[in-house]
Structure formats: structure tokens, C-alpha cells
């Protein structure tokens, strides 16, 4: 058997390799508001492929705007 450390995207119907991983508690709401469904909500982490991260990112950025701190200026 081949040992693989690669994770698969957690979105239902998607078998792409994941690009990003997030704590489920942190990203689940953002994923839900894009209309996507996660295969296993009980999993502690949600893995997203490039495509799905792009979609979720738009919502996720908005959600986290308040907690983002910029020290540059
Ligand atoms: Zn995906």
C-alpha cells in the first residue's frame, strides 16, 4: 500500500488535493455561506482544494475582517 500524506478536499463531490487546511470551527460557517457542503463536519479540520479555497476565501475574508490587524500603518 502506498502511504500518502496528501489530503483530499473536504467538500462533497470533490476529490482534488487540498491546498489549505483550517480548523472546522473557524471555516465551517464560511463554507456554509458559499453553499458548499463538507463531507465530514465532525472532522476537526476542513481541507480545501484550490478551487474551493478561492470560493470560500471571498466569504472568509469578510468574516475575519474585524479580527485582522494591520500594523503597517
Ligand atoms: Zn474541492
Q: How far is the CA of 38 from the centre of ligand 1 (A)?
A: 10
Q: How far is the CA of 71 from the centre of ligand 1 (A)?
A: 33
Domains and CATH numbers, the chain: 1-59 (3.40.1800)
Mean pLDDT of 13-33: 95
Name residue, grid cell 474585524: 66
**pLDDT reported for residue 1:** 56
Is the torsion defined by CA of 62, 11, 13, 57 positive or negative? positive
Lowest mean pLDDT among 1-15, 28-42, 54-68: 54-68
Mean pLDDT of 3-8: 76
Mean pLDDT of 46-68: 84
Q: How far is the CA of 70 from the centre of ligand 1 (A)?
A: 30
Q: How far is the CA of 55 from the centre of ligand 1 (A)?
A: 10
Q: How far is the CA of 18 from the centre of ligand 1 (A)?
A: 7
Better pLDDT: 68 or 28: 28
Amino acid at each position: 500500500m502506498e502511504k500518502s500524506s496528501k489530503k483530499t478536499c473536504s467538500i462533497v463531490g470533490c476529490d482534488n488535493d487540498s491546498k489549505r487546511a483550517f480548523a472546522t470551527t473557524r471555516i465551517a460557517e464560511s463554507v456554509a455561506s458559499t453553499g458548499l457542503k463538507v463531507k465530514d463536519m465532525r472532522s476537526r479540520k476542513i481541507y480545501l482544494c484550490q478551487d474551493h479555497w478561492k470560493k470560500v476565501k471571498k466569504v472568509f475574508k469578510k468574516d475575519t475582517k474585524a479580527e485582522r490587524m494591520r500594523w503597517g500603518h
